[in-house]
A and B are shown apart, each in its own frame.
Chain A
Amino acid sequence: MNKLKPIWRALLLLLMGGFVGYALGVGLDALIGGTVDFVAPISGVFSLLGSATAFFFGLIGYRGITKGLVYQIIGTFVGAGFVTAIRAFMGLETFGSFFFTEPAWVFGGLVGTLSFLSGVGAFADWYKWAKGESTPEHHQDPEGFIKYFGVSLDHKIIGIQYTVTSLFLMGVGGTFAMIFRTELAASRLQFLTTTFKAFDQNGLQFYNTLMSLHGMVMIAGILLGVAGMINYLAPMLIGAKDMAFPRLNAFSFWIAVPGALLLLSALFLGGFDTGWTGYPPLSTRSPLGIQMFFLGVYMVGWSSILGGLNLIATVVRLRAKGMTPFRLPIFVWAAIATSIISLTATQLIGLSFQLVMFQRLFDMGFFDGTRGGNPVLYQHLFWFYSHPAVYVFVLPGLGIISELLPVFVRKPLYGYRWVAMSSLGIALIGFLVWAHHMFASGLNEYLRVPFMYSTLLVSIPTGVKFFSWVATLWKGKISTPTPMLFVLGGIIVFLIGGLTGPPSATVSTDLHLHDTYFIVGHFHGTIFGGYVFPFFAAIYFWFPKATGRRMSEKLGKLHFWIMTPSFLVMTFAMMRVGLLGMRRRIADYDAMLGFDLTHLITTIAGYLIFISVAIFLYNLFHSMNHGEKAEGNLWNSRSPEWLVPSPMPVHNYDQAIEVVGEPYDYGLAGSKYVDFTNNK
């Protein structure tokens, strides 16, 4: 076993962990089960946690994340056992069809999360501070790839941790989509039928669970990806050594890991059927899985909140000398706008989820109309975050577009100040538009028109960005290596997604479009254009900075040329069926509606996207060790991180940086952006 390469050993252990977990579940069932059968849920959770633990044990041994996972398993059981004991003492039901009862699972999930954090070591320094001991400013990270699997305070390592976790989650969420997209390829139920059984759910329930989890797992993935880009890039771009609060930064990443696991465990605990929005009253009656969903998202939400806090403090406090507000890179402006949203609004999705959780746990009547509650209140709280959240997804990506475009056009960014302000404008107006998701909810009539106009207003700052991109491209010396391809693809796709916004925002048309596949097409367009394409661009662009090697251009172009046409076909096909009356979130449709073929095309396009991403992942992991060496200023960028060797030194810049000019004056003779000064 020891002769194997760590990755193979890890994969082998992953399988064994899964089996052992499953057997444990079956054993427990035999021991306590009696009349209730809970093999599926308990074995599912055990296999998930067991295989994850075994995998990391094989990879790195008992340290870092492995230790965290072991603690999480123990913590979950201690927490759930504690509640179960209390219930037994009070004469309440102790075990249910999901093994533990719902309150026990929730408390167990909470204790498990905290245990994970203390196991992995995210609390270690704070605990010492509370005891009055002091800790070194920085800890020495271990050599080699192991450093990515434990608590590190280095923003670059944390950025990569975020990015890889994000890719993993998007892979999982994407796989879910492939499964239910296959079901949708033709009318009638194909394999997710009522006789189908998975984790105690029949085919239709399983469809709902996959569809709901797809949405939220992707969102969690996007939030982590955004945090990855911001963490890796922002301190480097502003010439700082690290983020303002490195320990908080590590904490923000690590709390997302147990959060993501909780979210995924919903699959095994009965699933849920509400979609990612979790509207009551349905969510107050969903299976237990919805609680795991709420709890998991809550943890990921804290990650986002604290990450936003850190970024704002970093930019306010740690900019290099001479980096005045209007010399900040556009990406940093976008990160600020994003962080303002995630710092504040995220609390409200947390609160709305918490209220439903409490309604389920303590029978509190917040959203129960028969007891003076109001389900529409949930929608207000939820969308007050979840609309601005879409800007959390896209603003950093749009920032990446503005950041990279001048590099590959060799021309200054057109209208720098306007672009910088447009991010803030979008974020701030974005706080005032949430009810456009509620036009069909029984919202007070008089609120519809103001929300329609405020929504249409967002198009203005968004238009500013497009104007700047087009004007920057105009008469430039355009070269198109892979990152630039993704930038251009992003612009086009985002345009299509964005243009479908106003019809959704206009009350008269939205009453027809609401809850149809048209909306699904709309937001896939905006999110791919505003996040996915730029995210890939950023990875292709900064990969050499992180590794000292570059990714294969050939595979990169293949990735792009498969993904872009497939995506366009997919999004248009979705809009078409939506306009023809296809409801979203349902497992089946009537063949008489006549769009079976369009659905089939959507599914095929979906597969192609999936394949292209697989090519990307292969390229990514292969190039880490085998890519062509690229240690210098590969793209001929003006940004300071490219003026030092790759991979980036541990504390970024050995010499202090001074900003002496404008960031995007590409092609202007004699212009200079940064200077390195020798005195530290």
Chain B
Amino acid sequence: MEHTDKKTAFNQGLIIFIFLAVLTALEFFIAIVMDAVVLLIFIALIKAGLVIYYYMHINRLNREDDGPEESYSFKTNTNRLGMWLFLLSDSFIFGGLMVARINLLGLTRPHLDQSLGLVVTAVLLISSFFMNRAETAMEHGDRKGFLVGTSLTLILGIVFLLGVVGIEWPQAIHEGITASSGAAGAIFFMMTGMHAFHVLTGVIFLVIILRNGARGLYNEEKHWAVEAATIYWHFIDVVWIFFYPALYLIGELL
């Protein structure tokens, strides 16, 4: 278990969030004023690194086992390894989509609603902040904090889904970017669709931990399900950290 006290942990989450927010804004303005692909990739890498290290706690993979094979902590360590292996595998889907995007579109991008893109990106980022708060709360046995944080994450996740699938998709279709209009449309719907599918599964995961959390099934020692949902949720955010510039910021308008 972490021995940082709750306040420090909350503050750390907040500071990381501020960094992420500033970097996102920076990204957006850089893309407006100049054509700087490498810089944008670099910023995305930093953002992803921050989330992976501070929100997903990749270093927990190094945790020593403090119990025999049957103990909860030993099993949690095994589960954590399994979860990360799954994400490694999953990231090959998204990597493949990225390759398809680069291969087909190169340095061009479809004409999408910039402000909407920024808003949904911000929504997902804020949801990650609350997810981190929820997990931190649970680690310190604060059930109420957990429930509030998870509920907010859940709501923001649904808002993100509505933003992408409910607003962005019809708008794009209205602009003439449809699934069958050409490579750009196909790539746009495939990338956002695959990501939205993952957000949807993440939302389901959140509903499960919210319900079980409300019934008091988790405590500060035993809450692997919460940790797993958290890691998964942040992973979805990491994917978007790359997909957002790939779809909205990089390259000339088609």
Q: List A residues at the B interface (Cβ < 8 Å).
A: 129-130, 132, 244-245, 248, 305, 308-310, 312-313, 316-318, 343-348, 350-352, 355, 358-359, 362-366, 371-374, 377, 380-381, 384
Contacts and interface: CB of A to CB of B under 8 A. Distances in A.
Contact of A363 (B82, B180, B183): B180
Interface stretch (B46-54, B142-150, B207-215): B207-215
A317 B85 CA distance: 13
Contact of A351 (B82, B93, B182): B93
Contact of A313 (B78, B182, B184, B212): B78
A53 B225 CA distance: 37
Nearest to B96: A351
Given A313-B78, A344-B88, A351-B97, A365 B186 contact: yes
Interface string B89-119: 1101100110110011000000000000000
B224 to A, nearest CB: 10
Closest 9 CB pairs of A and B: A372-B183, A364-B186, A347-B92, A363-B180, A351-B96, A132-B212, A371-B182, A309-B85, A362-B179
A377 B89 contact: no
A240 B81 CA distance: 17
B179 A343 contact: no
A373 B82 contact: no
A305 B78 contact: no
A343 B93 CA distance: 11
B78 A317 contact: yes
Given A313-B85, A381-B100, A348 B183 contact: no
A381 B104 CA distance: 13
B104 A316 contact: no
Overall SS of chain A's interface: helix
A373 B104 contact: yes
B82 A309 contact: yes
B64 interface: no
B189 to A, nearest CB: 7
A380 B102 CA distance: 13
Contact of A364 (B103, B189, B215): B189
Contacts of B184: 372
B182 to A, nearest CB: 4
A416 B208 CA distance: 48
A346 B104 CA distance: 22
A245 B208 contact: no
Contact of B190 (A308, A343, A364, A374): A364
A347 B100 contact: no
Contact of A372 (B88, B99, B104, B211): B104
A343 B85 contact: yes
A348 B182 CA distance: 22
A556 to B, nearest CB: 39
Contacts of B189: 362, 364
A317 B88 contact: no
B217 interface: yes
B186 A366 contact: yes
B179 A244 contact: no
Contact of A350 (B86, B93, B217): B93
A539 B71 CA distance: 36
A365 B182 contact: yes
Given A358-B190, A364-B190, A372-B184, A377 B104 contact: yes
Given A317-B77, A345-B92, A364-B190, A371 B183 contact: yes
B242 to A, nearest CB: 16
Given A132-B215, A373-B186, A348 B179 contact: no
Contacts of A363: 179-180
Interface centre among A132, A318, A345 (most CB of B within 10 A): A132
Interface centre among B78, B97, B189 (most CB of A within 10 A): B78
B214 to A, nearest CB: 10
B208 A130 contact: yes
Given A310-B82, A373-B183, 16 more contacts: A132-B211, A308-B89, A312-B81, A313-B81, A317-B77, A317-B78, A318-B78, A344-B92, A347-B90, A362-B180, A364-B179, A364-B189, A365-B180, A372-B104, A377-B103, A380-B99
Contacts of B92: 344-345, 347-348
Interface string B196-214: 0000000000001001100
Nearest to B82: A313
A549 B77 CA distance: 39
A652 to B, nearest CB: 13
Contacts of A346: 89
Nearest to A245: B82
A347 to B, nearest CB: 4
B13 interface: no
Contacts of B96: 347-348, 351-352, 381, 384
12 contacts: A132-B215, A245-B78, A309-B89, A310-B82, A312-B81, A313-B81, A347-B89, A347-B93, A363-B180, A371-B186, A374-B104, A377-B99
Contacts of A352: 96
B69 interface: yes
Contacts of B89: 305, 308-309, 343-344, 346-347
Interface string B165-188: 000000000000001111111110
